[in-house]
Amino acid sequence: RLPVVLGISGSLRKQSTNTRLLSFIGGMMPEGVVFHMHDDLAALPHFNPDFDHDPAQEDEAVHIWRAQLKAADAIMICTPEYARGVPGSLKNALDWVVSSGEFVGKPTAVISASPHPDGGAIALHSLTLTLTMMSAVIPDEATVSIPFASKIVGADGLVTDAGTLSSLKNLIQVLTRAF
């Protein structure tokens, strides 16, 4: 079976820069690596520990979310920053897998893209703390914040800036190194 990288966007927005960027990065995967996206964070119910442990009560969207994470060999999250934090829909999705443990030992890359000069670095940092607590494996150089993202990511989703391309190539290389 070919190794799978699962892409997760922290933005639900149709025209999201982060989602476009994630698709672009998906197209940069090395030969023999399958990339697909989880695109239904909005289907997840609000996290409630009362429904966390009983398989008979597992919501269908939660089941799919957990199964896709489990089946992935690596994860790539690309997220905006909302009010200096991780967007609620993404944090909610992560809360569903704290105790079920799908991130344990999972190679994970984290990207934040923002039109602001700091590139969503605070959300990136916060997300990294959360994932580390969940025992995800975040290799050095697998976290990148992309400032001025509305200029860096074209309307067609293409990235041409040499510096950004180089850090993305490097991020993919460190993420898929173990395959």
Q: Contact positions toward ligand FNR, by CB under 6 A?
A: 11, 13, 16-18, 80-84, 114-116, 120
- Name the minimum Å distance from CB 118 to ligand FNR: 7
The pairs formed by 149-152 with CB atoms below 8 angstroms and a separation of 24 or more are 149/17, 149/18, 149/21, 149/113, 149/114, 149/115, 149/119, 150/17, 150/115, 151/115, 152/113
- Name the minimum Å distance from CB 81 to ligand FNR: 4
- Name the minimum Å distance from CB 106 to ligand FNR: 23
- Name the minimum Å distance from CB 34 to ligand FNR: 24
- Comparison of 66 and 116: residue with beta carbon closer to ligand FNR: 116
The pairs formed by 154-162 with CB atoms below 8 angstroms and a separation of 24 or more are 157/20, 157/21, 157/23, 157/24, 158/24, 159/21, 159/24
- Name the minimum Å distance from CB 39 to ligand FNR: 13
- Comparison of 11 and 108: residue with beta carbon closer to ligand FNR: 11
Sign of CA dihedral 59, 127, 134, 75: positive
- Comparison of 9 and 176: residue with beta carbon closer to ligand FNR: 9
- Comparison of 80 and 107: residue with beta carbon closer to ligand FNR: 80
- Comparison of 2 and 83: residue with beta carbon closer to ligand FNR: 83
